């Protein structure tokens, strides 16, 4: 599913997570037309941003194919930046499979996304990449890494999720992200993009207002919370906080 946001930057406070309603497409700014015309047209002065929703599986190549189709459609409609959700790369069946499927930032999968950004000529927010960090050999744990690529495919920012989701889910037992994931060490300074200055966060971070305040005070115009909440955690966390 592909949605477009064309609201003024000071009103664009957060992005959507899977399962939530997508704003209607703007008839003025989202109708098909050549990209250059869509970006520079005087009839559409606000930047066009695409929010892509996918249901990830353990099949990384199939997930990439799905994401690539949405990103190419966003580029065709004139978006300058496309957002993909947390766990856009895959969602495994168990923690052991998560660790096995994870890759470093310099791996094959991220290279495919850098090529996609170059091909489409737009920025990509990769909302939650299962990253094998430099300490992988010592920890055997990964990072939940929000990666921002520019339109040339270069990595311009990485933020590793600091607040891990360790919760008891009624009827399902514990969900402990920290069993397989390391918390990130720090925040990332807001990044200037064609859509505005973006502050990077991930999913459960939204429960901690200090992070949002720090990013806003550092100049962020858009706060991003790419998420992969489930049927229980979504209503419990995303809906009350974002409403």
Rg (CA), the chain: 17
Residue 197 designated active-site: no
Residue 203 designated active-site: yes
How far apart are the C-alpha atoms of 108 and 94, rounded to whole Å?
22
Kindly state the tokens that stand for 33. 């037309």
**Could you tell me if 134 and 106 are in contact, meaning their C-beta atoms sit under 8 angstroms apart?**
no
In the numeric block, the tokens 């704003």 are attached to 23
In the numeric block, the tokens 């744990």 are attached to 141
Of 114, 100, 109, nearest to 64 (Cα)?
109
Kindly state the tokens that stand for 44. 């559409």
How far apart are the C-alpha atoms of 214 and 208, rounded to whole Å?
11
Catalytic residue among 80, 161, 165, 188: 161
Catalytic residue among 17, 44, 67, 86: 86
Q: For the chain, report the end-to-end CA distance as a whole number of angstroms.
A: 21
Residue 52 designated active-site: no
Q: What's the number of CA atoms in the CB half-sphere (13 Å) around residue 34?
A: 4
Catalytic residue among 44, 52, 67, 203: 203
The DSSP code sequence of 22-42 is: PPPPPHHHHS---HHHHHH-T
- At 67, is the secondary structure helix, strand, or coil? helix
Catalytic residues: 86, 161, 203
């Amino acid at each position: 599913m592909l949605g477009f946001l064309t609201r003024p930057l000071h009103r664009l406070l957060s992005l959507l997570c899977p399962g939530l309603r997508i704003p209607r497409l703007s008839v003025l700014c989202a109708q098909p037309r050549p990209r250059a015309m869509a970006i520079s047209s005087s009839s559409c002065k606000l930047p066009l941003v695409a929010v892509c929703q996918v249901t990830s599986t353990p099949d990384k190549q199939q997930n990439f194919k799905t994401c690539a189709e949405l990103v190419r459609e966003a580029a065709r409609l004139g978006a300058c930046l496309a957002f993909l959700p947390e766990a856009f790369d895959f969602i495994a069946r168990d923690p052991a499979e998560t660790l096995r499927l994870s890759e470093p930032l310099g791996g094959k999968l991220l290279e495919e996304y850098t090529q996609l950004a170059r091909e489409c000529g737009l920025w990509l927010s990769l909302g939650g990449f299962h990253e094998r960090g430099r300490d992988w050999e010592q920890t055997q744990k990964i990072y939940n890494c929000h990666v921002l690529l520019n339109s040339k495919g270069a990595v311009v920012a990485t933020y590793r999720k600091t607040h891990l989701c360790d919760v008891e889910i009624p009827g399902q037992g514990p969900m402990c992200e920290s069993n397989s994931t390391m918390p990130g060490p720090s925040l990332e300074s807001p990044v200037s993009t064609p859509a505005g200055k973006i502050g990077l966060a991930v999913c459960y971070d939204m429960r901690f207002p200090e992070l949002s305040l720090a990013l806003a005070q550092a100049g962020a115009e858009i706060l991003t919370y790419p998420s992969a909440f489930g049927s229980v955690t979504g209503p419990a966390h995303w809906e009350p906080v974002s409403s």
